[in-house]
Every structure is written in structure tokens, then in C-alpha cells.
């Protein structure tokens, strides 16, 4: 496999991430997906490419193949919605199986286990991770590159000629999960903690001060201090994403300060508590008024299930990556490697190092730039480094150049309209530039960016379908959101004033 052969594939960027290495996710994950795709999906995937450079990583698929597999899955679900229900059940079961194992890794004394035992644990983790992705990839094919199921259901609603209702709003309500997400549960728990702080005079006065003073003195708050520490311990993993770090105590103290000083806290708690009961009521009202046939009721319910399991699966994966970090850290210590080196070595290479072999230059060069490619379904694929990696990366970047224009369109994730200043947000540091009402424009969002999403007037992303992170969170927050625009971060620049029409799915520059 060489650059000439790679150029023959019609690569399209599917997703971009911040801080994700070759292992333990990308290489073994895609190897498992490709090897298991025919059995699980019924059609084989043959092509994948992931490019890693600096702190960035992006993965690419064949345009024709993703379209073909996505349409195959859509047809299978339309013919047999029960198969889609089974997929969701498998995702839940395998997510729990993975996190139960990873939790064991985080609680046992790894220092007392042999290096070979540690590698065996790692191998078992990868097996469970792969088994989860055999099913977890199915909604991704159906929704991430092209929102196939969402488009089908929107087309169905438009054919119903809804004279009273907005089709986008109906779609949004009918596909919104009526069970609380992990994000929802954490936010409500923090709100309730802020309420307790607000009711305590000493604590309330402390949280009017600056964060340095709060951090210094919060331990004097007795049971409230314990509650703050417990919340941090319980939910810090949510910030870990692929490679950490987890949310710090400062992160939660800052949010508590904002909540304690929020004059509308009681109202927002009631709204948060009643959110899902209101969704259930609206769903009943819409279903009664529109009178969907049985098949389409199931399909709307299934789409909501996909959204719920996407959030659940992501939460469990993040927990498992956080738990796995203890094992990877112990391996790094044993083998005299950096944490990053361990993340870029195969299990076979780690076994060799445990037997006394030395790390070679090519393995270290993966830390600077690496491209992992599978073509024609031949796993485990090939890893390119050095000049070859950069040639591939630069070739892919060159393919993605777009002409600047004033408008783009995408899919409505949550309806509404907003105007505001563009802030391009890819990393947590970018949120510091945001002011309330700014439009958050991102290639894609992740849990690290939720604090920016909360103050944004609207959210616009390049990738993702109705089950993506931005879609899930925008619904929780009630923020206008347009996803899957493909080019938003490249045609709009920082400071542009844009209008987000999340009724029609149009985003355009005003000035």
C-alpha cells in the first residue's frame, strides 16, 4: 500500500477529534469494526483512514462505501425495525459489560500484578471494546456521514402536510429520549447542590467571592464540602473524553459559583426536573394529532432510542477510557515509557518490550505524525510515519479546501433562530473567547465544550447527525442547532455575524 493507491480512494472526512492516539481506540477499534461488519451489519466495510498529527486526529471513509453501507442499514431497518431495537439492546448490554470490566481495573491494586497480567487485562479490554463497536458503529453509519434515517423521517412528516405543526419541531420532539441522559443527571445533581449552598448563609457568602478564595476555604463548609468532593469524584470522568484530563475540582467550583449566584436557579431546577415529563406529554399530543401509522411510530421511537444509546454508549466509553488510564499508567511505569508512547504501541509491541526488546525510532515517530489505513478490508492495516504520513495528511487537507461563501445548510438538530458573532470552537481554550449569545461554530462538539454550548446563542457543526453530541446537548439546552453543514468552520471566520435559521437548516453571513 502506497500514496498512489491511497489516492485512488474517494476519501471524505467523517469526524475530527482532539487528543486521540492510535491506541487503545482507533486502530483496534476500526480493525474490529471491519472484521465484524459482515456478520453484524450484513455488509462488509473495506476502507478506513485515521490521520494523527500534533493534538489532532481525523478519520476518513470512502464516500461511496459509507453511502452504500448507510443505505443498506436504512433499508434493513425500514424492512425490520425490530432489528434496530436489537441493535440498541446490544449496545446497552455491551456498554455495561465494558464499563464493569474497566471499573475492576480502576479498583484493583495493579502494582501487585505482573506486567504480563497487565497486558492480558489490556487485551481483554480491547476484546470487550471491539465487541461493543460491532453494534455501536451501526447508528454511526446510519447518521454521521449522512443523516439517512433522519432525512427519511423528515420526508415522511413533510408528506403529511402538517398545517398546524412545524415538521422540524415535530421531528425533534418525537425523537427526543424521554429518559434523562448522563449530562442531564449531572447538571441536575449540581443544581441541587447549588441550592443547598444557597440556603446556607456561610456557604452562600463564600461563593460570592473569587474562585481562588472558594477553593481555599470550601473545605470549612463541613457536609457541603463533602458533597462537593463527592460530586467531583462521581462526575470528573465526564471530561476525560478520549484521553483526558478529567474535569478538575476548579471546573465544578466555577459552575457552582455561577449557579449559586443565578437568580433563576429555582425556576431552572423545576424546568430541569420536569423536562422529560413535558417531552412525554408533547409526544402524546403530537402522536394523537398526527396519527402516524404503526410502522412510523416504531421508527420515530427507534430513532429516539438511537439518540439515547448514543449518549449512554459515549458516557460508558468515556468512563472506560478514564478507568483504563490507570492500567496504561502502570504499563508506562513498568516499561519506562511515557503515557503517550504506550498509547501508540500495539499489544504485540508491548509484549516484546516486556520481554526486553527496545523501542525503535519508527514507533517513537508515531508521536509526531501517523496515518493508519485499511484498504480492501485487509486488516490490521498499515501505519505510515515520517514523510509518508505527512504526504498523506497534506494530500487529504488539500482535498478539503473550499471556496469561501456566505451561506451553508445542514440538518436541524433543535429548532429556533439566532444571530450572533462567530466563535470557532474546537478546544476548551477557545471557549475563553466566547461571550453570552455568540454562535459556537465547530467541526464537531464533545463533552469538553459543553460550557461553551451553554452560553452560545446557537450551535453550528460541520459533522454529525441527529444522534451526535451537538444534537443531544442542544436539545437538553433548548439552543437552536444546525448540524452536518460540512464546511461551516471553513467558510465563516472568527467575528463574522451570522444568522442561524434552525427552522430551515440554513446558516448565512450577515456582516
Average pLDDT of the segment spanning 479-500: 92
- Does 99 fall in a domain? no
C-beta separation of 229 from 264 below 8 A: no
pLDDT in tens, 200-247: 999 999 999 999 999 999 999 999 999 999 999 999 999 898 898 899
Domain assignment present for residue 463? The answer is yes
Residue 488 and residue 411 in one domain = yes
Instruction: For 131-172, write each residue's pLDDT tens digit.
Output: 999 999 999 998 877 889 988 998 998 888 776 777 877 888
Tally the domains of the chain. Answer: 3
Q: What digits encode the pLDDT tens for the residues 289-346?
A: 888 889 999 999 999 999 899 889 999 999 999 999 999 999 999 999 999 999 999 9
Give the β-pairing of 48-53 and 369-374: antiparallel
Q: Is residue 437 domain-shared with residue 494, that is, in the same domain?
A: yes
For residue 343, being part of any structural domain is answered with no
pLDDT at position 355 over 70? yes
Both 390 and 413 in a single domain?
Answer: no
Residue 331 lies in a domain: no
d(CA 69, CA 146): 11
Host domain of residue 378: 1-62+363-401
170 is a domain residue: no
- Report the phi/psi class of residue 386: left, alpha or beta, with left for phi > 0 and alpha for psi in -120 to 50: left
Q: The C-alpha cell of 385 is what?
A: 510515519
More confident residue, 351 or 478: 351
Residue 501: give its domain's CATH number.
3.50.30.10
Question: Do 385 and 457 sit in the same domain of this protein?
Answer: no
Asked whether 138 and 87 are in contact (CB, 8 A), the reply is yes
Residue 402 CB-density burial (10 A; 0-12 exposed, 13-18 middle, 19+ buried): exposed
pTM of the model: 0.90
- Find cell 468515556 and name the residue: 318
Q: Residue 237 corresponds to which cell in the numbers above? A: 470522568
The residue among 225, 246, 274 that closes a domain is 274
Cell digits of residue 9: 480512494
* Same domain? 186 vs 265: yes
Amino acid at each position: 500500500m502506497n500514496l498512489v493507491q491511497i489516492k485512488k480512494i474517494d476519501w471524505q472526512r467523517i469526524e475530527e477529534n482532539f487528543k486521540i492516539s492510535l491506541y487503545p481506540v482507533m486502530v483496534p477499534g476500526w480493525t474490529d469494526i471491519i472484521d465484524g461488519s459482515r456478520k453484524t451489519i450484513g455488509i462488509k466495510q473495506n476502507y478506513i483512514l485515521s490521520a494523527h498529527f500534533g493534538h489532532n486526529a481525523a478519520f476518513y471513509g470512502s464516500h461511496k462505501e459509507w453511502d452504500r453501507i448507510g443505505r443498506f442499514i436504512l433499508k434493513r431497518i425500514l424492512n425490520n425495525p425490530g432489528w434496530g431495537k436489537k441493535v440498541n439492546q446490544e449496545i446497552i448490554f455491551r456498554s455495561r459489560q465494558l464499563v464493569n470490566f474497566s471499573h475492576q481495573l480502576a479498583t484493583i491494586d495493579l502494582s501487585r500484578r505482573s506486567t504480563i497480567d497487565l497486558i492480558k487485562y489490556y487485551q481483554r479490554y480491547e476484546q470487550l471494546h471491539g465487541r461493543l463497536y460491532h453494534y455501536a458503529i451501526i447508528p454511526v453509519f446510519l447518521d454521521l456521514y449522512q443523516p439517512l434515517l433522519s432525512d427519511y423521517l423528515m420526508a415522511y412528516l413533510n408528506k403529511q402536510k402538517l398545517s398546524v405543526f412545524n415538521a422540524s419541531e415535530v421531528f425533534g420532539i418525537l425523537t427526543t429520549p424521554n429518559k434523562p441522559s448522563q449530562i442531564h443527571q449531572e447538571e441536575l445533581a449540581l443544581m441541587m447542590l447549588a441550592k443547598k449552598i444557597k440556603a446556607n448563609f456561610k456557604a452562600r457568602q463564600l461563593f460570592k467571592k473569587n474562585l481562588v478564595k472558594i477553593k481555599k476555604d470550601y473545605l470549612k463548609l463541613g457536609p457541603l464540602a463533602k458533597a462537593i468532593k463527592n460530586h467531583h469524584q462521581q462526575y470528573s470522568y465526564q471530561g476525560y473524553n478520549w484521553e483526558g484530563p478529567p474535569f478538575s475540582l476548579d471546573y465544578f467550583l466555577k459552575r457552582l459559583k455561577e449557579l449559586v449566584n443565578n437568580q433563576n436557579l429555582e425556576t431552572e431546577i423545576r424546568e430541569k426536573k420536569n423536562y422529560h415529563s413535558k417531552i412525554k406529554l408533547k409526544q402524546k399530543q403530537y402522536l394523537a394529532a398526527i396519527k402516524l401509522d404503526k410502522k412510523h411510530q416504531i421508527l420515530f421511537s427507534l430513532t429516539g432510542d438511537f439518540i439515547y444509546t448514543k449518549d449512554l454508549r459515549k458516557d460508558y466509553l468515556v468512563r472506560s477510557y478514564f478507568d483504563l488510564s490507570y492500567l496504561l499508567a502502570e504499563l508506562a511505569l513498568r516499561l519506562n515509557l511515557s503515557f503517550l508512547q504506550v498509547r501508540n504501541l500495539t499489544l504485540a509491541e508491548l509484549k516484546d518490550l516486556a520481554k526486553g526488546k527496545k523501542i525503535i525510532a519508527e514507533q517513537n515517530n508515531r508521536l509526531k505524525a501517523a496515518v493508519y489505513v485499511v484498504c480492501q478490508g485487509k486488516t490490521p492495516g498499515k501505519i505510515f510515519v515520517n514523510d509518508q504520513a505527512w504526504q498523506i495528511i497534506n494530500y487529504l487537507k488539500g482535498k478539503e479546501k473550499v471556496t469561501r461563501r456566505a451561506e451553508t445548510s445542514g440538518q436541524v438538530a433543535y429548532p429556533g433562530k439566532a444571530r450572533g458573532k462567530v466563535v470557532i470552537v474546537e478546544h476548551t481554550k477557545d471557549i475563553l473567547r466566547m461571550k453570552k449569545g455568540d454562535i459556537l461554530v465547530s467541526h464537531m462538539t464533545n463533552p469538553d465544550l459543553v460550557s461553551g454550548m451553554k452560553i452560545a446563542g446557537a450551535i453550528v457543526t460541520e459533522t454529525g447527525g441527529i444522534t451526535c453530541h451537538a444534537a443531544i446537548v442542544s436539545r437538553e439546552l433548548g439552543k437552536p442547532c444546525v448540524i452536518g453543514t460540512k464546511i461551516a468552520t471553513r467558510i465563516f471566520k472568527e467575528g463574522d455575524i451570522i444568522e442561524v435559521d434552525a427552522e430551515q437548516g440554513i446558516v448565512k453571513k450577515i456582516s
